[in-house]
Structure 1
Amino acid sequence: MDGIMEVPVRRQNMGRKKSEVLVPEMAVPGFTLGAFILLLLVSSVANYPNGKVTKSCRGMIPEHGHTPQSDPPCYISVSQMTFRPGEKIKVTLSGPPFKGFLLEARDENLTGPPIGSFTLIDSQVSQLLTCEDIQGSAVSHTSPSNKAEIKVYWNAPSSAPNHIKFLATVVEKYDIYWVKIPGPIISQPNVLPFTTPKATIAPMPTLPPVSHLTKSFNASDCGNKKFCIRSPLNCDPEKELACVFLSFTRDAKSVMVEMSGPSKGYLSFAFSHDQWMGDDDAYVCILEDQTVHIQPSHLTGRNHPVMDSRDPLEDMAWRLADGVMQCSFRRNITFPGVKNRFDLNASYYIFLADGAADHGRIHKHSQQPLITYDKYNVTGYPENVGGSHSLLLLKVHGALMFVAWMTTVSVGVLIARFFKPVWLKALFGDAAWFQVHRMLMLTTSALTFIAFLLPFIYRGGWNWHAGYHPYLGCIVMILAVLQLLSAAFRPPLHDPSSITFKNTDWFFIW
């Protein structure tokens, strides 16, 4: 799931390359070519919260999937307790260092949309959000850096209610946050004081029970009673620690899921309509404080999974032993009317991924996810299937670039450098060494061009998440085409303009 990528868990929350320059005529030093190829193979990805939390405006609840904390350490203060329409009130949110926040003003009963708008004092640490189509009606963080105090102005609208209450959600860590921290209530002059409604104690939400697995999963029923996905194919999680294992066992109306693999962070799998990350039904098992949390989620694009309620899951259990994480749960085959949970009577591609996690937040998978070669119905006939971390088109892309730049180019360079004095016999009108050299370089050009196209075919267009590799690939392809054009207009050896050609050729090489 290109993620399945950085994400969460606890009581909730769950690329490639090669392109090179082509030289039709002159020799390319091996170290230069090798270094350039290595450069193309390197990429890095970073992902940080940016405070664009408009989706959480109404409920003010982070989509982290964890249970909010009680007894908030932060508090809200105001510069004055009364206001008139059009006035500005300074609002301060302060407390121990925190990473994220969301600040809003509501009516006294906390119903309806945010009231009024805010003006920033320090735009480096805070930003305005548009909530409920009201511009600037909320304030949030701009980065995950620690901050201990946020100051803004609240602008009272002309239609403000008699009483206004400020609320804040504060995030200390991904799995530690406080929701709707109450602030002071400010009132318009000459109105009856606000009477706090009698408090009612709401029961704390209960989490589905989770048990501990007493023994490891095994592959004895794969292809017989279980639909299994394994890597390596035919491995047994009971005997091989490196075995990545996912099984589905159907009964009348539900499916028992077992997942196992080496991980110190998280394991996850997802059902997908295609071989792309996004719009998928995903499940994550995350290690936190020596406990494994099992969390359903869904993927929207190449973003972090959005954690969903664990209510659809039953019979959850987990086990940690020898660096291997195992988790199991049961879910219904169908969930009529429930978003994000797929109907398992249909066929899907299946993704398997793993990676690091901290504080209940999962990070980008450590390698390309394992993806099944075809769509499968896990509730149909039991099968024993495998998958690949690299899809066929990308493998062909890599193979073509390897052949082009480690074989045809290398041989072409050797021919031009060492065989020029001895292969002078004419072949089709030119020296034999030159004809062989030219053929090899044209082959390199053709292979490079085909390999250049394959990632675009695979991705269906430009991949904005692949780092600088696509840009380097485009530069390489442009230089390769220019080199071909230069070679096409190559003057005779003793022509006065041949020096210009040689200089141009060396420019492209270096």
Structure 2
Amino acid sequence: LACLFLFCLFFYTCADTVICYSHGKVEVACGDMTPQHGHDPSTKNPPFNIIADKSQLSPGDEIKVTLSMASSEGKHYFKGFLIEARNAGNLSEKVGSFKLISPGISQLLTCDSKEGSAVSHTDKSQKTEVQVIWVAPSNSPSSVQFLVTVAQGYKEYWVKSPGPVVSQNGVAPPPQTTFGGSIGFTSEGCGSKKSCLRDPDGCDPQNDIACHFLSFRALGSSVMFELSGPAEGYVSFALSQDKWMGKDDVYLCIRDADRVEIKAAYVSGRTHPEYSSQNILKDTAWRLSDGVIQCSFRRDIILPPENLYRFSLDQMYYLFMAHGRAEVGRTHRHDRQPLISTYQTAITGPPEDLTGSRSPLLMKYHGAFMLIAWTSTVSAGVIMARYFKPDWPERNILGQRVWFQLHRMLMVLTVLLTLVGFVLPFMYRGGWSKRAGIHPYLGCVVVALAVIQPVIALFRPAPDASRRYIFNWMHFGTGTAAQVVAVVTIFLGIHQQALFLPAPWSTGVLAAIVVWFVLADLVLEVHRRGFLPIVLAIYLCGNLGFLTVLLWTISAV
């Protein structure tokens, strides 16, 4: 019982302290500066400031660094802290050493075998300010940035918050970089304070790591952009005057090891981006966490004339948002079809909650036409010819039997839908797609078989001709082959980049359509008399239901 009491007392003591290291010996956190709390860093604005009394340095200089509370809202103190100085050009490299001003509340740490390379707290007392002295080494890099992790409690802390950058005399400081927990994007204010484009629609990057997110808002003579999304190598967005890739103003956040480079670029077509040599982005910030790349920057609305490929932000554009792989800073083709805004939007206009689609309209029509043709009209036409020929023997429409007229009408509609659907991808791509795998090749086979069928029908012999059986087998074989190949092609097509219906349930619905047809065919084969109209009605209702679900899904992607 005594042991249990001591354990509970220890747990309670640690529950609201800094990583249970109230003594501040946090060398374990020297690398990523992250407390081992088991909670995510706070995404609120940091309630503290970190400043240096100099902006320039020389080897051997002593610079006073002050960490202090800046906000009177909420807690007006902090308990734990970790201060480091790092090479601004290589933020994994610790630079220089520290001296203490207040040894009662601060202590030196040895990180990466460098004595005094970091400073932390000595206890869990409430603090409002701490000051230390940083000593520049003889081999100091051109620029040094101070970083700080601050904890107000066990569940509330900020990681690697950026401090001031000090540079050697005559060296321009690099853009400050934010990372760790101090940069946090949220969908709060979308449509009221800022414009947002999101996928899935309505997602929040603060809570959903699968959320692809772009926001922008005007700030005086500039625009602030925020970009977030899960990606292996980069996330990007583009301003475009149309819905076609090419001649676009592009902005990329590219992961390079444990850093993110934020670049402006121009794409002239379906090629690698041409990076801008002009430094036009301000207040750049980024974060890497759980496979998600986040970055933000500010850009002037109007740029000088020498920025030939940068669009003016006081105009209306379509927005493209894409992501993909990158190696050694070089981007590869995007993993999925870009998300394209539904309509043009004014970048500096009133805030809007925008919608978009990853599937071009032409490709949606392509998918819809092929689905209707090869899962609905062709199956109804086959059933009509196979099982209703003996029925309505005396009923005619325009001089032909009812079953034949319905069969011919449905098959002609199938061929027309197939031909129109076949042309649409070529109109969109401007030629043959080299990245669609076997899908377009099978599509060509389907079109060829679909065209051959009516040609064969034109040369059919009379019903009582001796060679009629040859036509019957050719017509049946060609039609069945076309139907089977078409279904396989559709299964491959619904997950092509340009359509990419949600898996696995879209595959399940398509499989249900096939099974539904097979079941109807078996029932009609067994019960050829009496139940034909009822079975046909039930089949058509089910088929229409499944087809409607898939068509709605296509319209929604």
Report if the CA contact (8 A) 1:208-1:311 is conserved.
no
Q: Which has the higher helix share?
A: 2
1:187 is aligned to none
Specify which of 216, 220, 223 is matched with residue 252 of structure 1: 220
Specify which of 412, 416, 419 is matched with residue 381 of structure 2: 412
Structure 2: which amino acid aligns with 1:263?
A: A
Q: For 2:348 and 2:365, locate their aligned partners in 1 and report how far apart those are by CA, in whole Å.
A: 33
User: Is the aligned partner of 1:210 residue 2:180?
Assistant: no
Could you list the per-position Cα deviations for residues 131-185 of structure 1 after superposition, in whole angstroms to 9, with x for gaps in the alignment? xxxxxxxxxxxxxxxxxxxxxxxxxxxxxxxxxxxxxxxxxxxxxxxxxxxxxxx
Q: Which runs of 4+ in 1 moved over 6 A?
A: 203-206
> For structure 1, which segment, 284-293 or 464-473, has the greater mean C-alpha deviation from structure 2 after superposition?
464-473
1:450 is aligned to 420
1:439 is aligned to 409
* 1:425–1:291 Cα change, 3 Å: farther
1:396 is aligned to 365
Q: For 1:413 and 1:499, locate their aligned partners in 2 and report how far apart those are by CA, in whole Å.
A: 18
1:487 is aligned to 457
* 1:306–1:469 Cα change, 3 Å: farther
SS in 2 for 1:210: coil
Q: 1:205 Cα deviation (Å)?
A: 9.6
Specify which of 301, 308, 317 is matched with residue 333 of structure 1: 301
2:193 is aligned to 225
Q: Normalized against structure 2, the TM-score is what?
A: 0.51
Specify which of 326, 331, 347 is matched with residue 316 of structure 2: 347
Specify which of 257, 260, 276 is matched with residue 308 of structure 1: 276
User: Is the aligned partner of 1:378 residue 2:372?
Assistant: no
- The structure whose Rg is larger is 2
> For structure 1, which segment, 495-504 or 296-305, has the greater mean C-alpha deviation from structure 2 after superposition?
495-504
Q: For 2:210 and 2:353, locate their aligned partners in 1 and report how far apart those are by CA, in whole Å.
A: 18
Structure 1: which amino acid aligns with 2:329?
A: G
* 1:463–1:493 Cα change, 3 Å: same
Q: Normalized against structure 1, the TM-score is what?
A: 0.55
Q: CA-atom RMSD, angstroms?
A: 2.7
Count, aligned residues? 308
Q: For 1:314 and 1:454, locate their aligned partners in 2 and report how far apart those are by CA, in whole Å.
A: 43
Report if the CA contact (8 A) 2:214-2:225 is conserved.
yes
Report if the CA contact (8 A) 2:183-2:286 is conserved.
no
Structure 2: runs of 5 or more not aligned: 1-88, 90-169, 482-557
SS in 2 for 1:410: helix
SS in 1 for 2:316: coil
Q: 1:432 Cα deviation (Å)?
A: 3.6
Structure 1: runs of 5 or more not aligned: 1-66, 68-202
Structure 2: which amino acid aligns with 1:274?
A: D
Q: For 1:205 and 1:508, locate their aligned partners in 2 and report how far apart those are by CA, in whole Å.
A: 74
1:103 is aligned to none
Report if the CA contact (8 A) 2:178-2:287 is conserved.
no
Q: 1:217 Cα deviation (Å)?
A: 0.8
Could you list the per-position Cα deviations for residues 417-473 of structure 1 after superposition, in whole angstroms to 9, with x for gaps in the alignment? 3444445444324444333322221121121122223334445x4345555655654
Q: For 2:394 and 2:236, locate their aligned partners in 1 and report how far apart those are by CA, in whole Å.
A: 63
> For structure 1, which segment, 481-490 or 366-375, has the greater mean C-alpha deviation from structure 2 after superposition?
481-490
1:172 is aligned to none
Q: For 1:361 and 1:204, locate their aligned partners in 2 and report how far apart those are by CA, in whole Å.
A: 28
1:387 is aligned to 356
